[in-house]
């Protein structure tokens, strides 16, 4: 009897070998193979994917679960032929959470200390001394209080920021008050620095638009480390150009890589990072994925098991 197969699909073939070898090392009872090397789709028991091509998953009739190489599952849900009875396991793990804490702390501090304006003054050789309020007087709002939103909120709280979170349930975290969905306007009205860490779903697509951005306090700034499609780009640009918004730090974009002629690249009030807030690496991510597959095989609880419900 041949070993069951784990099919690996990712758009970057240069990253495939490291992932395949790491997963194979942790899962010796399986054959881990790139999708192009699989001749018998019936042998595939798990598919480990990032942005799988449309119809790929539907082509594996004996699949037990799909594993997203990342926290988001919108790239799986984007497959209109996805067989929704197949569960999806998200990959998170401590390194991902730690990296996101660092990214959010770095950029919130940078916005809080008005570092983009300080750097612009340096470029003009201007001695622009600014009195910045302490973090305790800076209100930060986090859209999405899941794994990453909660972790970011706790890190910012430890730095002294006045942090609040917004989610469906309105759940808070230690010392961080939560606002439920129906209090979005109130939440936005208090958020001088707004951080987006929502999953991309039909309900959250375009959530950062003219109406919502307009409810932020004057000269508020935003940090989007979730998905590009959370933002209506033209509305963001209009908010920056009118002066209502002071800065935007964007890690994710509607089109990635960000096209070379996109106005974000050169906009003085935009900081672009190339979807690196919390990249997953084969060494630590491979172990998390293997542990999740082993737990699923053994019928144990897998905390990050979810489903595509087409609300996604
Ligand atoms: P998660 O654990 O699934 O958290 C979801 C949070 O969003 C929960 O608080 C949930 O509220 C809230 N939420 C969902 N739909 C909502 C809605 N319609 N209205 C209000 N709140 C809503 O997600 P996560 O693991 O923290 O990850 C968040 C996202 O970060 C991922 O989906 C991915 O897109 C992004 N990400 C980016 C990078 C990067 O490098 N840039 C890396 C990793 C992840 P309830 O709990 O009340 O339902
Ligand atoms: C990265 O964007 C992820 O979803 O893990």
Which protein residues are within 6 Å of ligand 1, measured from CB? 70-72, 92, 96, 144-149, 167-169, 171, 181, 197-201, 203-204, 225-227, 251-252, 275, 277-279
285 pocket-lining for ligand 2 (C-beta < 6 Å): no
Pick the CATH number of 94-272 from 3.40.50.720, 3.30.460.80, 3.30.2290.10, 2.40.50.140: 3.40.50.720
227 included as an active-site residue: yes
Spatial separation of the C-alpha atoms in residues 153 and 173, rounded to whole Å: 8
Q: CA 138 → CA 26, 173, 220, 292, distances in Å?
A: 45, 18, 11, 39
Output the pLDDT for position 14: 87
**275 labelled catalytic:** yes
Name the pLDDT band for 140 (thresholds 50, 70, 90): very high
Q: What is the pLDDT of residue 310?
A: 67
Please report the pLDDT score of residue 312 as a whole number.
Answer: 41
**What's the pLDDT at 13?**
84
Closest Cα partner for 251 from 232, 267, 270?
270
Q: Which atom of ligand 2 is nearest to the CA of 75?
A: 4
Distance 122 CA to ligand 2 centre (A): 35
Domain boundaries, the chain: 5-91+280-306, 94-272
CA-CA distance, 218 to 227, in Å (whole number)? 24
- The yes-or-no answer to whether 5-91+280-306 and 94-272 have a common fold is yes
Q: In b/e form, how buried is each residue of 157-183, taking b as 16+ CB within 10 angstroms?
A: bebebbbbbbbeebebbeebebbeeee
Is 90 exceeded by the pLDDT of residue 280? Answer: yes
- CATH number 3.40.50.720 is the correct assignment for the domain at 5-91+280-306: yes
Question: How many C-beta atoms surround the C-beta of residue 189 within 10 A?
Answer: 14
Q: At residue 113, does pLDDT exceed 80? A: yes
Question: What whole-number percentage of the chain has pLDDT above 70?
Answer: 99
The 10s digit of each residue's pLDDT in 1-12 is 789 999 999 998
Of the listed 20, 45, 107, 227, which one is catalytic? Answer: 227
């Amino acid at each position: 009897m041949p070993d069951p197969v784990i099919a690996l699909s990712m758009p970057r073939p240069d990253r495939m070998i490291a992932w395949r070898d790491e997963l194979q090392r942790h899962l010796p009872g399986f054959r881990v193979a790139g999708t192009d090397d699989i001749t018998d789709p019936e042998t595939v028991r798990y598919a480990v994917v990032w942005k799988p091509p449309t119809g790929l998953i539907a082509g594996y009739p004996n699949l037990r679960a799909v594993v997203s190489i990342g926290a988001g599952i919108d790239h799986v849900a984007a497959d209109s032929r996805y067989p929704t009875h197949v569960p999806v396991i998200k990959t998170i793990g401590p390194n991902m959470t730690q990296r996101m804490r660092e990214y959010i702390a770095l950029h919130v501090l940078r916005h809080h200390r008005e570092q983009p304006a300080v750097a612009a003054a340096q470029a003009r050789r201007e001695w622009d001394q600014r009195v910045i309020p302490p973090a305790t007087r800076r209100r930060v709002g986090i859209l999405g209080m899941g794994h990453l939103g909660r972790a970011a909120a706790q890190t910012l709280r430890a730095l002294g920021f006045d942090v609040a979170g917004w989610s469906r349930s309105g759940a808070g975290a230690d010392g961080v008050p939560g606002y439920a969905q129906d209090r979005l306007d109130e939440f936005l009205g208090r958020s001088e620095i707004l951080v987006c860490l929502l999953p991309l779903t039909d309900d959250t697509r375009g959530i950062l638009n003219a109406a919502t951005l307009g409810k932020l306090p004057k000269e508020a700034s935003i940090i989007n480390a979730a998905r590009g499609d959370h933002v209506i780009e033209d509305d963001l640009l209009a908010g920056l150009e009118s002066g209502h918004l002071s800065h935007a730090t964007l890690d994710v974009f509607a089109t990635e890589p960000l096209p070379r002629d996109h106005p974000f690249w050169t906009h003085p009030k935009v900081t672009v990072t190339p979807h690196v807030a919390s990249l997953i690496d084969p060494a630590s991510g491979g172990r998390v994925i293997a542990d999740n597959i082993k737990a699923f095989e053994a019928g144990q609880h897998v905390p990050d098991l979810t489903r595509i419900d087409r609300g996604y």
